Structure 1
Amino acid sequence: MRRGQRPSAEQVVLMLRQIEVQTAQGKSVAVACKEADVSEQSYYRWRKEYGGLQIDQARRMKDLERENTRLRRLVADLSLVGQVLKDVAFGKLIAPERRRQTVDGIREKYGLSERHACRIVGQHRGTQRYVSIVPADEDELTRAIIALASEYGRYGYRRVTALLQAAGWPVGKDRVQRIWRREGLKVPSRHKPRSRLWLNDGSCVRLRPLHRNHVWSFDFVKAQTHDGRSLRVLTLIDEHSRTCLALKVARRINSLGVIEALADAMCLHGIPEHIRCDNGPEMIAKALRKWVAKTGPQIQYIAPGSPWENGYCESFNGKLKDECLRQEIFYSLKEAQAVIGLWQNTYNRVRPHSSLGYRPPAPLTIPDLAFRLPMALAMQ
């Protein structure tokens, strides 16, 4: 064995056997160690560690020692990872920028290398070293997004993206979402999808709108003024185009008020084939049924206690409550009529509708007029 080379477990056991044989023949330990080219200190140390072991047992012991060392190192690494993530990383590390900040914090606090810190966080080193390129119009776009979010407080980033694109901004929803989250703007939560109304034979219960003026639907929404007095809002929509045809606001609305609203809408938009509504007292009144029968449309009453069968109108009512009624305080009936009428115009001409490819139901002929205010705010 060459000097300076560390012997293996098998070589150590063979040397011990050789020295034991020589000492059994009468030689001293010093002479036997000298002939084996081993110091006496090494002999006694090896005899204490490997004494009485066979070659395969010594090999197995060395393997177990190496495995024990590897496991100790692994446990130490896992403990370090747990401690690092507990001290530096808070919450889920999903966004690359958040991971990048966490890696920098780990390196600064624990003095680890970039490779080790990236391995702990699960960040690719190329992503860690990536330098983002900020477009020249980033600040101007951010101001435009904040202005739209302030004006339309219940719009998400998708509708804001549609408004920006209609105003001439060449942006996509991913970039708007990044700025939206960076500025801490509210992202509306997703609603749980509801199952469709299907019968056992595969046919659908609901009458599907096929074209404009095919199916209209109307319903009532309750509100109140600041003094606690009640308000009733009659909502009338075209289910195919999603256009709001009428928003009649009054203290009380009976069957005659419904007939008046339907008549005004028919004079402006034409006569529909079907009118969908629930079974309220104003809807089932004899005067309303006779007038509708003479006019031409057919009334489609939904099943009692099944508002989901009038889903288009119920969805519109939810938007009306969320974006207008819950955001405003009405001090008089006139004020309520003016504010709700203004919201109706915004809904039809400005508000992007998700089911229409994020286009308003009835956009203006000149788009610049619809978005002159957002653009003016964005250019400030």
Structure 2
Amino acid sequence: MPVTIDREHDLPVARQAKVLNLARSTVYYEPRPVSAEDLALMRRLDELHLDYPFAGARMLRSLLRREGVSVGRRHVATLMKRMEISALYRRANTSKPAPGHKIYPYLLRGVKIERANHVWAMDISYIPMRRGFVYLTAVVDVFSRRVLAHRVSITMEAAFCIEALEEALARHGKPEIFNTDQGSQFTSLDFTSVLLDAKIAISMDGKGAWRDNVFVERLWRTIKYEHVYLHAYDSVSEARASIFGYLAFYNGGRPHSSLDERTPNEAYFGAQTIAAAA
């Protein structure tokens, strides 16, 4: 029986979750229903975004219309916002942080990443289910492509990102540089304070820029085409278990041409063994 949170109670939801020893990202709630038509549109938008990451709402609207789907640009933009996707391209950084949020400079320009735990990257992606959707976040070692930790959540709050970050740090030490985009989850004080307390340099892509988080974008493409799109999860728990199983294969059983046919585990732990021996 799921544990429920009383949203009418004087005690804040986050505090209730802490008292009950629940991760904030797993708090049970009744999600606002999304129509079957919108879910189908979101699934197709997700596929188109992977194939054409440079396409904004206007172009995606046109692509859908060529497939016989009648939809307006504003509705496409609304769904993209819900899915947390946007066109990836280089542009001047004119974005402003949310109140109380600091934007950190991009530190990876011209940096050669040649060892494990030099740079970690993190991002969030939309994951479709049979009825509904969830969000997946992952911490990736850029050198080895290894997924160091991940979380699946029904909300876009920073808590599930912080949980994944803290697990990665507890299990794998710490990187020299941690790179994200400027999403509000990553610019929040709760998130950045974990990195600052660990004395890790924080790097952030310009909003909408296509830079070193391309490695995480490639991970999303791999996960979705090799696993997510081949399954229709019936529940959040099924999505969590199934994605966990695939990522175990991704890390330990899937060779990568960019790693000389090694798996991410072999590249990550092999690199650490060589560094220790030196």
Q: TM-score, normalised by structure 2?
A: 0.55
SS of residue matched to 1:308: coil
Give me the whole-angstrom Cα distance separating, in 1, the residues matched to 2:201 and 2:125.
23
Change (3 A) 1:333 1:215: same
Cα distance in 1 between the residues matched to 2:125 and 2:149: 13
Is contact 1:278–1:307 with CA below 8 Å preserved after alignment?
no
Render the CA deviation track for 1:347-371: whole Å, top value 9, x for unaligned: 011101111111111159xxxxxxx
Residue 185 of structure 2, aligned match among 271, 279, 282: 282
SS of structure 2 residue aligned to 1:326? helix
| 1:342 equivalent in alignment to 2:245 | yes
- The DSSP-based 3-state class of the residue aligned with 1:305 is coil
Per-residue Cα deviation, 1:208-252 (whole angstroms, up to 9, x for no partner):
32311110001011013212x220000211001111112211111
Percent of paired sites with the same residue: 27
* 1:7-62 deviation per Cα after TM superposition (whole angstroms, max 9, x unaligned): xxxxxxxxxxxxxxxxxxxxxxxxxxxxxxxxxxxxxxxxxxxxxxxxxxxxxxxx
Given that residues 237 and 243 in structure 1 are in contact (C-alpha distance below 8 angstroms), is that contact kept between their aligned partners in structure 2? yes
Residues 138, 164 of structure 2: 8 Å contact kept: no
Runs of 4+ in structure 1 over 4 Å off: none
Higher relative contact order (CA 8 A, sep 6+): 2
Alignment of 1:30-69 (within 5 A): none
Question: Which one-letter code corresponds to 1:210 in the other structure?
Answer: E
Name which of 250, 257, 262 aligns with 1:359: 262
1:321 and 2:219 are equivalent in the alignment: no
Q: How does 1:1-380 map to 2 (within 5 A)?
A: 205-227=109-131, 229-363=132-266
Distance 1:206 1:329 in 2: 41
Distance 1:253 1:295, change over 3 A: farther
Structure 1 pair 241/282, CA: closer, same or farther in 2 (3 Å)?
Answer: same
- 1:340 aligned partner, one-letter code: I
* SS of match in other structure, 2:213: helix
How far did residue 206 of structure 1 move?
4.9
- Partner SS, residue 240 of structure 2: helix
Q: 1:57 corresponds to which residue? A: none
Give the greater-gyration-radius structure (CA).
1
| 1:44-88 CA-partner distances (Å, limit 9, x unpaired) | xxxxxxxxxxxxxxxxxxxxxxxxxxxxxxxxxxxxxxxxxxxxx
Take 1:271 and 1:236, find their aligned partners in 2: how far apart are those partners? 11
Supply the RMSD in Å over aligned alpha carbons.
Answer: 2.0
Distance change (3 Å), C-alpha of 1:243 and 1:252: same
For 1:335 and 1:284, the matched residues in 2 are separated by 30
Cα distance change on mapping 1:290 and 1:347 into 2, 3 Å: same
> Do the aligned partners of 2:141 and 2:147 also contact (CA within 8 Å) in 1?
yes
- Return the letter of the residue paired with 2:263: P
Residue of structure 1 in register with 2:64 after alignment:
none
Distance 2:193 2:170 in 1: 18
Query: How many residues of Structure 1 are paired with residues of Structure 2 in the alignment?
Result: 161
Name the SS of the counterpart of 1:219 in structure 2. Answer: strand
- Tell me if the contact between 2:139 and 2:148 (Cα under 8 Å) persists in the aligned partners: yes
- Specify the code of the residue in structure 2 equivalent to 1:342: G
Aligned partners of 2:212, 2:254: CA distance in 1, in Å? 25
Higher helix share: 1
Structure 1: any 5+ residue segments left out of the alignment?
1-203, 365-380
* Letter of the structure 1 residue corresponding to residue 128 of structure 2: Q
Between the aligned partners of 1:206 and 1:357, the Cα distance in structure 2 is: 23
The change in CA–CA distance for 1:207 and 1:310 in structure 2 (over 3 A counts) is: farther
SS of match in other structure, 1:282: helix
